[in-house]
C-alpha cells in the first residue's frame, strides 16, 4: 500500500513540475497563499473554543457591542480576529486559485504546442506507425486531464496544512486521543487504497480503449459515403466496431468510476468512524473532561472536509497520472527526426541519384516486414520521370524516398556528388513539392507572401477552371468545399506557387476528366520541364508514357519473404458467390 502513496506523491510532484517550469515565482506565491489559507483554517476552531472558554486569553464573548458602518458588532477581540481570519482565507484562496488557473491555461497551451512540435518534427514513418487516432486522443483527452489534476494542487496543499494544523491542535487537547485517532485514520486510509488500486486499473483500461474508439469515430466520419451505400454494412460497423469499442470504454469507465465513487464515500465516512470510535470506545477506557470531549468532537467534525478533499483528489490524480503516462509513452514513440533544420534550401543541383536504395518496413511484432528491393536510377532536372507498376509494387514507398520522407535502410541517395545525410536532408527537402494520393489540402499556400503570388495564383485558378469556384484574397482560398477533382486541382495550384526544384505527383490525374488529364500531362508537366524542374509522376495511364524522358517500372518492388502465394481473386469471388447462392 505504501507504493500507492509513493506513486500518488510522485505523480503530484510531476504535475506540480509542469507548473513550476512555466512560472516558478507565481506558483510559489500561489502555493504559499494556499498554505497560509490552510493554516488560517486550522485556527478557526481554536479561536471559537478559546472565545467560549472563560480561561482563554481572548476572553469570553462580551455582551458589549459597538456600531461600525451602521452595523452592530460584538466588541470581543476573538470575534475581530475570527472575522479577520475568515476574510484572509477568502482572499488567499481566491488569489491562489485564480493564479493557478491562469497558469494552468498556459500549461495546457504549452503541452499541446509541444505535442504539435513533436508531431511536426517526427519522421513520417513513425507518425504512420502511431496513427492519427492515437495522436488526436492524446491532444484532446490527455492534456485536459493532466492540467485538471495539476490545477487541484493548491486545494490539496491548503487542506493538507489545515489537516496538519487541526491534528496539532488535537494533540494539544489530548495526546492519547491524537494517537488513537491517527491509528484509526491510518487504518482507514490504507484500506481505502485497495479499491483505489482496482479503480485505477479500470480507468487505465478505459484510456487504452479510447484510442480505438477515436479510430472508429474517424471511420464513421470519413467513411460516411461507404456506410451510406448499404444498411447491412452500416449496421455491421456500428454493432461490431463503433458500438463495440464504445461499450468497452463505457464498461471500463463505469466499473472504474463505480469503485472510485464507493472508495470516495468510504473515505468521507472515515472521520465519522473515528468519531464513533472515540465516543463509544476510547472514552470508556480513558478519562476526558467535557471541555476536552467537546473540543475533540469539533476537531473531528472539522477534519471531515480536508480528509474528504484529499481522498477525492486521489481519483483525479490517478486519471492525471494515467494521462501523463500515456503522453510520455507517445513522446517516446514519435522521436524527433535527427536532422539539422538550419539553413535554406539547396537548389543548385542537376541530378538526384539512387544507388542501391532499399527500404524495409518494421513489422508490428518486431519481425521482418515488407521491403523495397534495392533500386539504382537517376532523376534529372529538366526531365519528366514516370513511375509505373502494379498495385503493391512499391510506387508509394519509392515516392516517399524520392521526397526524402523515408530514410533508406540500405544504399544511398545523392544530389550530384553530395550524399544525403542528417546535415543536409532538410535543406534538400526544402526544394521538394509533392501531391500524394492521400494529400491534405490547406486553405492557403504556405511559406509564401500572398502579395508576391497573387497574380500567379489567379492565373493558375483560371487555367485549371477554378476561377468561378475559388478566389484568392487575403492570402487564403475562399473555399475548400469542392469536388474531389477540383480539390486536387486546387492542391496543384498551391504546389505550383512553391516554385520547387523537384515536383512529385502521385496519381494526380486519377480522378480528373479527360480534359484536365490532358492539361496536366501535356501542358503543366512540359512547362515545369521547360523551367528546369525535376518532374516525377506516378501513373497507370500508358497513353502518356510518350511524354516521359525516363520511365521507372516497378515489378514486385515490395515483397514479404515468408508469405504464401495468394489464391486468384476471381476464383475466390466465384466460389463465394456459388456458396452464397446455395
pLDDT tens-digit readout, 5-47? 444 455 566 666 777 777 888 888 888 888 888 788 777 777 7
**Total domain count, the chain:** 2
* Helix H or strand E encompassing 213: helix 175-222
46 and 73 share a domain? yes
Answer yes or no: is 576 within a domain.
Answer: no
User: End of a domain among 333, 363, 397?
Assistant: 333
123 and 217 share a domain? yes
Answer yes or no: is 237 within a domain.
Answer: yes
Answer yes or no: is 572 within a domain.
Answer: no
Are 529 and 386 a contacting pair, CB within 8 Å? no
CATH code for the domain in which residue 67 is found: 1.20.1560.10
* Helix H or strand E encompassing 414: strand 410-415
pLDDT-derived band at 578, boundaries 50, 70, 90 = very low
Answer yes or no: is 372 within a domain.
Answer: yes
325 and 357 share a domain? no
pLDDT of residue 557: 54
CATH code for the domain in which residue 513 is found: 3.40.50.300
pLDDT-derived band at 89, boundaries 50, 70, 90 = confident
For 36, counting Cβ atoms within 10 Å of its Cβ (0-12 exposed, 13-18 middle, 19+ buried), the class is middle
Neighbours of 332 (CB within 10 A): 8
pLDDT of residue 581: 42
Between β-strands 418-419 and 410-415, what pairing exists: parallel, antiparallel or unpaired? Answer: antiparallel
Answer yes or no: is 274 within a domain.
Answer: yes
325 and 374 share a domain? no
Long-range Cβ contact pairs of 326-329 (< 8 A, separation 24 or more)? 326/138, 326/142, 326/207, 327/111, 327/115, 327/138, 327/142, 327/143, 327/146
Answer yes or no: is 263 within a domain.
Answer: yes
54 and 175 share a domain? yes
Answer yes or no: is 379 within a domain.
Answer: yes
20 and 121 share a domain? yes
Distance (Å, rounded) from C-alpha 181 to C-alpha 184? Answer: 5
258 and 364 share a domain? no
Query: What is the domain range of residue 51?
Result: 2-333
Distance (Å, rounded) from C-alpha 321 to C-alpha 272? Answer: 30
Are 384 and 547 a contacting pair, CB within 8 Å? yes
pLDDT-derived band at 55, boundaries 50, 70, 90 = low
263 and 375 share a domain? no
362 and 317 share a domain? no
- The tens digit of pLDDT for each residue in 244-289 reads 888 888 888 888 888 877 877 777 677 777 777 777 777 677 666 6
250 and 325 share a domain? yes
Are 160 and 16 a contacting pair, CB within 8 Å? no
211 and 327 share a domain? yes
pLDDT of residue 65: 47
Distance (Å, rounded) from C-alpha 65 to C-alpha 416? Answer: 97
Distance (Å, rounded) from C-alpha 208 to C-alpha 248? Answer: 10
User: End of a domain among 333, 366, 382?
Assistant: 333
294 and 407 share a domain? no
The pTM for the full model equals: 0.67
Amino acid at each position: 500500500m505504501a507504493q500507492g502513496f509513493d506513486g500518488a506523491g510522485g505523480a503530484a510532484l510531476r504535475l506540480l513540475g509542469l507548473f513550476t517550469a512555466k512560472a516558478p515565482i507565481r506558483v510559489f506565491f500561489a502555493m504559499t497563499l494556499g498554505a497560509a489559507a490552510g493554516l488560517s483554517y486550522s485556527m478557526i476552531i481554536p479561536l471559537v473554543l478559546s472565545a467560549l472558554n472563560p480561561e482563554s486569553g481572548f476572553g469570553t464573548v462580551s455582551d458589549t457591542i459597538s456600531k461600525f458602518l451602521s452595523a452592530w458588532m460584538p466588541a470581543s477581540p476573538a470575534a475581530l480576529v475570527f472575522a479577520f481570519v475568515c476574510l484572509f482565507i477568502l482572499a488567499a484562496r481566491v488569489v491562489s486559485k485564480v493564479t493557478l488557473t491562469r497558469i494552468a491555461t498556459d500549461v495546457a497551451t504549452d503541452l499541446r504546442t509541444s505535442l504539435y512540435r513533436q508531431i511536426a518534427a517526427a519522421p513520417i514513418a513513425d507518425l504512420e506507425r502511431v496513427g492519427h487516432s492515437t495522436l488526436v486522443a492524446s491532444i484532446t483527452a490527455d492534456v485536459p486531464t493532466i492540467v485538471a489534476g495539476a490545477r487541484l494542487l493548491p486545494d490539496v496543499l491548503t487542506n493538507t496544512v489545515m489537516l496538519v494544523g487541526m491534528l496539532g491542535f488535537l494533540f494539544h487537547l489530548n495526546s492519547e486521543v491524537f494517537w488513537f485517532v491517527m491509528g484509526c485514520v491510518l487504518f482507514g486510509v490504507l484500506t481505502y487504497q485497495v479499491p483505489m488500486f482496482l479503480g485505477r486499473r479500470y480507468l487505465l483500461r478505459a484510456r487504452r480503449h479510447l484510442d480505438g474508439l477515436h479510430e472508429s469515430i474517424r471511420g464513421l466520419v470519413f467513411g460516411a459515403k461507404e456506410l451510406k451505400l448499404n444498411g447491412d454494412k452500416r449496421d455491421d460497423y456500428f454493432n461490431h466496431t463503433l458500438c463495440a469499442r464504445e461499450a468497452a470504454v463505457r464498461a471500463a469507465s463505469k466499473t472504474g468510476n463505480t469503485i472510485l465513487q464507493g472508495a470516495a464515500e468510504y473515505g468521507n465516512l472515515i472521520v465519522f468512524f473515528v468519531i464513533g470510535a472515540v465516543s463509544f470506545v476510547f472514552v470508556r477506557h480513558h478519562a476526558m473532561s467535557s471541555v476536552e470531549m467537546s473540543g475533540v468532537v469539533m476537531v473531528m467534525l472539522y477534519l471531515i472536509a480536508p480528509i474528504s478533499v484529499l481522498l477525492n483528489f486521489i481519483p483525479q490524480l490517478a486519471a492525471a497520472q494515467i494521462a501523463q503516462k500515456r503522453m510520455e509513452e507517445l513522446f517516446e514513440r514519435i522521436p524527433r527526426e535527427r536532422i539539422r533544420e538550419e539553413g535554406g534550401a539547396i537548389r543548385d543541383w542537376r541530378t538526384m541519384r539512387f544507388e542501391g536504395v532499399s527500404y524495409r518496413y518494421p513489422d508490428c511484432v518486431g519481425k521482418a516486414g515488407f521491403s523495397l528491393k534495392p533500386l539504382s536510377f537517376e532523376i534529372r532536372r529538366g526531365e519528366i520521370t514516370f513511375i509505373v507498376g502494379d498495385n503493391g509494387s512499391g510506387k508509394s514507398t519509392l515516392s516517399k524516398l524520392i521526397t526524402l520522407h523515408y530514410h533508406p535502410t540500405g544504399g544511398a541517395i545523392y544530389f550530384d556528388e553530395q550524399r544525403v545525410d542528417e546535415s543536409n536532408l532538410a535543406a534538400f527537402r526544402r526544394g521538394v513539392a509533392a501531391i500524394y494520393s492521400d494529400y491534405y489540402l490547406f486553405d492557403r499556400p504556405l511559406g509564401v507572401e500572398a502579395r508576391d503570388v497573387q497574380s500567379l495564383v489567379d492565373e493558375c485558378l483560371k487555367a485549371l477552371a477554378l476561377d468561378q469556384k475559388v478566389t484568392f484574397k487575403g492570402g487564403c482560398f475562399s473555399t475548400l468545399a469542392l469536388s474531389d477533382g477540383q480539390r486536387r486541382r486546387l492542391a496543384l495550384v498551391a504546389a505550383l506557387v512553391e516554385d520547387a526544384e523537384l515536383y512529385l505527383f502521385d496519381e494526380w490525374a486519377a480522378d480528373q476528366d479527360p480534359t484536365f488529364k490532358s492539361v496536366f500531362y501535356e501542358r503543366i508537366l512540359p512547362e515545369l520541364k521547360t523551367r528546369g524542374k525535376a518532374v516525377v509522376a506516378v501513373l497507370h495511364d500508358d497513353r502518356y508514357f510518350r511524354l516521359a524522358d525516363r520511365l521507372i517500372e516497378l515489378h514486385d518492388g515490395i515483397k514479404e519473404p515468408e508469405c504464401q502465394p495468394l489464391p486468384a481473386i476471381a476464383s475466390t469471388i466465384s466460389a463465394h458467390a456459388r456458396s452464397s447462392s446455395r
